[in-house]
Chain A
């Protein structure tokens, strides 16, 4: 009845993603972090292996992978560098609204090019004064003939500067709540669209983040996903899915934190032997393992529900919230196990903690996840 085994293909995908991550991502992660560098060439290498935009459906040139396939990759890449994985994850986030709500023609037009070249997508929902309260967005959409004109500012947009396809959420009437919301596909380089890179991030510095300013950006109304009033719904359905990769990335970071803690603790000597002799250390490692395993299986379960087409809102919220909390705690404990060495960048644990803090914030803060879960309970 229950099978916890990955399929043969999933094992192959896992070992390929692991080999790629350990060879091409992990050794460079510290430098990307230090230099705040977007590793374009490694994103291209990932694309050549088929690791970029895995959510594109088979009908438009994708591989037709499921969510379980995707999170197997997520865990391996995030283990090596959460910031690097966010580049790929945010691209899948950006293309998901088109997968969920795009017509066959829109999918062909916007998704097919994402499979033939190393191109990124982006998801533009948050605004400078608006994040968790997504239905209160202020970016304006105005229909003029067969065009939509967009005006406003979007904030914290991963891949915002690099993306060739951006799904922008806007409203036709700021007073009308989510009934006025609309999801519009804007292609990178459209006149009036300006991307300002955001500097000074605490972590995930390999992943480029931008503020997007839209000044009279005109696109055909054929770029509207669904209809006016569908925007909020599309955004929520998208996030219901894409929270699972965030959870999987968190699991990858938690695994890394545990591995680093074990590796350091077994060589660090104190009071005549390695510090792994002490229960104070052993209990930390055991607690990390408990969190890691439970988070991983919750993440797998949420992905399994998605792949079966079953309701998954609650499961994906639990997975995202729990896994990112567990991973932050694991990174913090791993840092502590390293003592003073954890506090300097000679060891990778400080970066793990800075990186994974964001997993508790983006794609719906963990408070919003709890709201989603509680709402389901009160229904």
Chain B
């Protein structure tokens, strides 16, 4: 069994990021492995720990600094990693085409991708990768078992959950509920030093995959949405203020 886990490096959800001039300023922000991708790493490790002989390869496409997120996966227990080094911010479809080239070379039975990417909240990378590979795909997975070259997954749909059986190889996107990712231990952090982290330039990987080394979409303009607060203070005694608060929550905010 061979599993490829796709990683992205994103700003820590708990860290503050600054928006200025319509763009995000990531300098000084803490960058971490995407929490959604961590579920995939953890699931791969658990599959191996359940006794199935498994090679686990982490794969990421991003700038030099993304190597830090890859090292976290290596320290969690992944065997080796491939880093497609790219200074271009690829959109999900372009990134999927590039990654598909590496996945085809690695020829795994299973690919894990985070259910969505925390940086721009896109849920597109997993489906786009499956499309580029021509493989079946299950998204938002919370449970997963193997049987005779197939995989059975339970995943979220709009009105609940459904259970699917897919032939392998397949792409599975992961999310909260699948497992509780571990911390890398100190011994594993030290061991990770000796593991292979292969860096490949985007241009080479894209050329080999027959994919463009550029965005699939052209970005004309982007803006960070800024919401101003209403700064309303409710007057009157507690009873009046509470009544007014309930009215606003029900009629205006429509949360009650």
**Which residues from chain A sit less than 8 Å from chain B, CB to CB?**
8-9, 11-13, 15-16, 19-20, 48-51, 54, 63-65
Contacts and interface: CB of A to CB of B under 8 A. Distances in A.
A8 B32 CA distance: 14
A54 B190 CA distance: 12
Contacts, number: 42
B209 to A, nearest CB: 28
Contact of A9 (B67, B183, B185, B190): B190
17 contacts: A8-B67, A8-B71, A9-B192, A11-B68, A12-B75, A12-B192, A13-B189, A16-B75, A16-B184, A19-B183, A49-B183, A49-B186, A50-B185, A50-B187, A63-B186, A63-B190, A65-B186
Interface string B179-199: 000011111011011000000
Interface residues of B, number: 15
Contact of B186 (A8, A15, A16, A19): A16
B152 interface: no
B142 interface: no
In this complex, the member of B189, B190, B193 whose beta carbon has the largest number of chain A beta carbons within 10 angstroms is B189
Nearest to B12: A15
A50 B184 CA distance: 10
B190 to A, nearest CB: 6
Contacts of A19: 183
A16 B186 CA distance: 8
A19 B32 CA distance: 11
A8 B187 CA distance: 14
B176 interface: no
Contacts of A49: 183, 185-186
Contacts of A48: 185
Interface string B56-71: 0000000000011001
Interface of B: 32, 67-68, 71-72, 75, 183-187, 189-190, 192-193
A11 B32 CA distance: 12
A245 to B, nearest CB: 16
B163 to A, nearest CB: 32
A64 B186 CA distance: 11
A50 B186 contact: yes
A130 B108 CA distance: 67
Contact of A16 (B67, B68, B183, B193): B183
B24 to A, nearest CB: 21
Contacts of A63: 186-187, 190
Contacts of B184: 12, 16
A7 to B, nearest CB: 9
Contacts of A9: 189-190, 192-193
Contacts of B185: 16, 48-50
Contacts of A51: 186
Contact of B71 (A12, A20, A50, A64): A12
A63 B88 CA distance: 39
B187 to A, nearest CB: 5
B186 A20 contact: no
Nearest to A18: B30
A63 B189 CA distance: 10
Nearest to B67: A8
Q: Which 3 A-B pairs have the closest CB atoms?
A: A50-B186, A12-B189, A49-B185
Contacts of A15: 32, 72
Given A15-B32, A54-B186, 19 more contacts: A8-B67, A9-B190, A9-B192, A9-B193, A12-B72, A12-B75, A12-B192, A13-B186, A15-B72, A16-B75, A16-B183, A16-B189, A19-B183, A49-B183, A49-B185, A49-B186, A50-B187, A51-B186, A65-B186
A6 to B, nearest CB: 11
B68 A8 contact: yes
A24 to B, nearest CB: 10
Nearest to A48: B185
Nearest to A23: B183
Contacts of B72: 12, 15
A121 B47 CA distance: 37
A201 to B, nearest CB: 30
B223 to A, nearest CB: 27
Nearest to B183: A16
Contacts of A12: 71-72, 75, 184, 189, 192
A108 to B, nearest CB: 19
A17 to B, nearest CB: 9
A11 B65 CA distance: 12
